[in-house]
A = this chain, B = another copy of it.
Amino acid sequence: MAQRLRSRRPVKLYEKLATDIEVTIRKGVFRPGDRIPSVRQTSQHHQLSITTVIRAYLLLESKGVVESRPQSGYFVRQLDAGSDGNAHELRASRPIAVSSEVDVSRLVLSTLRSIGTDEAVPLGSPYPDPNLFPSDKINRYAYGMSRKKEIWGVTDALPPGNPNLIRQIARRYLENGASIDPNEVIITIGATEAINLCLQAVGKPGDTVAVESPTFYAMLHAIERMGMRAIEIPTHAQEGMDLTVLADVLENQKIAACMVMPNFQNPLGFQITDQKKRELVDLLTQYDVPVIENAVYNELYFGDAHPRTLKSYDTQGLVLHCASFSKTLTAAHRIGWALPGRYREQVEKLKFLNTLTTSNLQQLAIAEYLQNDGYEHHLRRIRRLYAQQANLMRTMVNRFFPEGTRTSTPAGGYVLWVELPEKVDSMRLYQLALENGITIAPGNMFSASNAYSNFIRLNYSYAWSPEIERAVQTVAKLAAACAR
C-alpha cells in the first residue's frame, strides 16, 4: 500500500484521492460510522470530475475502508480487522497529526523513583524482576576479571568497546540467525545511550522524528535530549505503525528519522510481521530516512523462533539497531550496544564524546558470562515465565477491571497495556495506587502529546504471588471508582 504512493508508474488521480481520504480517516478526522462528504461535494471541493470521485470511492469500498448505504452515501467502516471480535482488545491509536515538543522526562523520573520507594508492588516498573537475573554468576566473573591487573587500564574499553564482549555479541546474533559485522558494533551505557547517540548522529535540534503511538518513553527522551520534535503515527495494537499515514507524513514534511520497536513494542507488546518489516524499511529507504530500531526485548519472545530484526532487511545502512542486556541479563551493569549502519563513524565518535568509555570491568564480566555460562538456558526459563504471567495478568485485568477496559495481547516482553474507560484519569489512578503501596505506569508517559491519559502499563515479570494478585484487584477497584 505505502509503496504505491511512490511506485514507478504515475499515480492516477482517483488513487491519489482515495489515499488522501483514507489518510484523513486513519488520522481520525472521520471516525468509524461517520458519513464522508458526498460525491458531489468532493468533486466540487477537489475540482475533480464526478467519475474520478466515484472511482476513488469504489476503490475505498473495495479496500473495506468505507461502505455505501443506499440513499445515504458512504460511511467509514471499522478499520482495525480483528479488533471487533473481542471486546477486550485494543483498537488502533489515533494521535493528533502534528508534531510536538517533547517534555516527558520529569513525569517518567518521578514515576520511576516512586517504584523504588519502600515496598511498593512494582506493577509500574519498566524493569524485569531482578530476582530472575543470574547476578551472582555475572558477579563472580566480574570478581575473577577484576583481579587481572591489565583490565584496570582504560584503553581497552575505548570505543567501539571491549573486543571480547563485541565478539560475544556478534556470536549471539549468529545463534539467532542474524549475521552481523562485529566491526559495526559500538558498546554503550545501556540502550539508552545507544538510542541517544544514534539519534544525534542522524539529526539536529528542531528536526522532526516519527514515532509509534503510544511509544516507549526512551524514544521520547532521546528526542527531548536533542531538542527535536516528535510526530506520533497511528499504531495498531497488533499490527504496529500505520504505514499509510507514515508514507503520507514522509511525502509531505521533512522527517529526520523514524524510531520504532518492531518486536514486543513497549507498551503495546506487538510483533510486526516480517512482511511489514520489509515494507517499513523499503518505505524509509525510498525517502532516504534513517530508522532507529529499539530491539531491547528481542530475546524475550513467546513464539518458537527468535524474531527477525528490521536490520536484517536493510540494504542501505539506514537502520540503526540498538539493544542491551538490561532487560535480559542485568540492569545493574548498564551495557548496551548500537549497530549504526552507515552512521557507524559518527556514533563511535559521539560515544567517545558522550561518556568516553563504558566500564571495562562491566563489559568483561558480561563477556565472560556469555562465553562460559548458560545465557540461552536462562532466557528459555524467563521466556516461559513471562508468557505464562502475561496470560495471567491479562485474564486478571479482564476479569476485575471496570466494564469497557481493553488490554493488549503481548507477543513478548513483560508489560501489558491497558485502556481504561475514558473517564479514568490514569495520573489520579497512579496517585491512588501509590497511596495503596502499588505502582503503575500512567499512560501519559508514552506520548509527547499527552494522549493516553486513560491508559496504564502493568509489569508482569514478577513471580506471580497472592500479593500481586491483591495489588491487581486493588488497582481494578480504584479504576472502577475513577470511572464513576
CA distance A196 to B352 in the complex (A): 12
Contact with B along A344-382 (1 / 0, CB 8 A): 000001101111111111100000000000000000000
List A residues 209-227 near B (Cβ within 8 Å): 221-222, 224-225, 227
Given A106-B349, A109-B349, A147-B139, A115 contacting B155 (CB threshold 8 A): yes
Given A105-B352, A354-B225, A158 contacting B359 (CB threshold 8 A): no
> Are A332 and B154 closer than 8 Å at their CB atoms?
yes
> Are B190 and A112 closer than 8 Å at their CB atoms?
no
Interface segment, A18-26, A130-138, A176-184?
A130-138
A204 at the interface (CB under 8 A from B): yes
When distances are taken between beta carbons in the complex, the residues of chain B under 8 Å from A109 are 158-159, 349, 352
> Are A359 and B362 closer than 8 Å at their CB atoms?
yes
CA distance A361 to B189 in the complex (A): 14
Minimal Cβ-Cβ distance residue in B for A357: B334
When distances are taken between beta carbons in the complex, the residues of chain B under 8 Å from A357 are 334
A30 at the interface (CB under 8 A from B): no
When distances are taken between beta carbons in the complex, the residues of chain B under 8 Å from A149 are 130-131, 135
A244 at the interface (CB under 8 A from B): no
> Are B354 and A354 closer than 8 Å at their CB atoms?
yes
Most chain B CB within 10 A, of A152, A189, A190, is at A152
Minimal Cβ-Cβ distance residue in B for A356: B192
Q: How far is the CB of A448 from chain B (nearest CB, A)?
A: 14
A116 at the interface (CB under 8 A from B): yes
When distances are taken between beta carbons in the complex, the residues of chain B under 8 Å from A127 are 153-154
CA distance A155 to B196 in the complex (A): 20
> Are B142 and A146 closer than 8 Å at their CB atoms?
yes
Interface size class of A (residues with CB under 8 A): 35 or more
Contact with B along A310-354 (1 / 0, CB 8 A): 000000000000000010001111100000000000000110111
> Are B152 and A146 closer than 8 Å at their CB atoms?
no
When distances are taken between beta carbons in the complex, the residues of chain B under 8 Å from A350 are 225
When distances are taken between beta carbons in the complex, the residues of chain B under 8 Å from A189 are 189, 355-356
Integer count of this chain's copies in the complex: 2
Minimal Cβ-Cβ distance residue in B for A153: B130
Given A105-B349, A158-B112, A189-B189, A152 contacting B334 (CB threshold 8 A): no
CA distance A153 to B232 in the complex (A): 32
When distances are taken between beta carbons in the complex, the residues of chain B under 8 Å from A125 are 155
Given A113-B155, A135-B152, A332-B151, A355 contacting B143 (CB threshold 8 A): no
When distances are taken between beta carbons in the complex, the residues of chain B under 8 Å from A227 are 204
- Which of B142, B155, B196 makes the CB contact (< 8 A) with A354? B196
> Are B152 and A331 closer than 8 Å at their CB atoms?
yes
A67 at the interface (CB under 8 A from B): no
CA distance A326 to B192 in the complex (A): 23
Minimal Cβ-Cβ distance residue in B for A133: B152
A193 at the interface (CB under 8 A from B): yes
When distances are taken between beta carbons in the complex, the residues of chain B under 8 Å from A157 are 332
When distances are taken between beta carbons in the complex, the residues of chain B under 8 Å from A131 are 149
> Are B352 and A332 closer than 8 Å at their CB atoms?
no
Given A147-B136, A149-B135, A359-B334, A155 contacting B116 (CB threshold 8 A): yes
A61 at the interface (CB under 8 A from B): no
When distances are taken between beta carbons in the complex, the residues of chain B under 8 Å from A135 are 146, 149, 152
Minimal Cβ-Cβ distance residue in B for A220: B353
When distances are taken between beta carbons in the complex, the residues of chain B under 8 Å from A133 are 152
- Which of B190, B205, B222, B334 makes the CB contact (< 8 A) with A204? B205
Contact with B along A101-140 (1 / 0, CB 8 A): 0000110110011011000000001010011010110010
- Interface set of A (CB-CB < 8 Å, partner B): 105-106, 108-109, 112-113, 115-116, 125, 127, 130-131, 133, 135-136, 139, 142-143, 146-147, 149, 151-159, 189-190, 192-193, 196, 204-205, 221-222, 224-225, 227, 326, 330-334, 349-350, 352-362
Q: Which 8 pairs, one residue from A and one from B, show the smallest C-beta to C-beta distance? A: A116-B155, A139-B146, A225-B353, A130-B152, A192-B356, A189-B355, A154-B331, A143-B143
Given known contacts A109-B159, A139-B142, A154-B332, what 12 new A-B pairs fall within 8 Å (CB)?
A105-B352, A109-B158, A113-B155, A130-B153, A136-B146, A136-B147, A152-B331, A154-B326, A157-B332, A225-B350, A332-B360, A362-B362
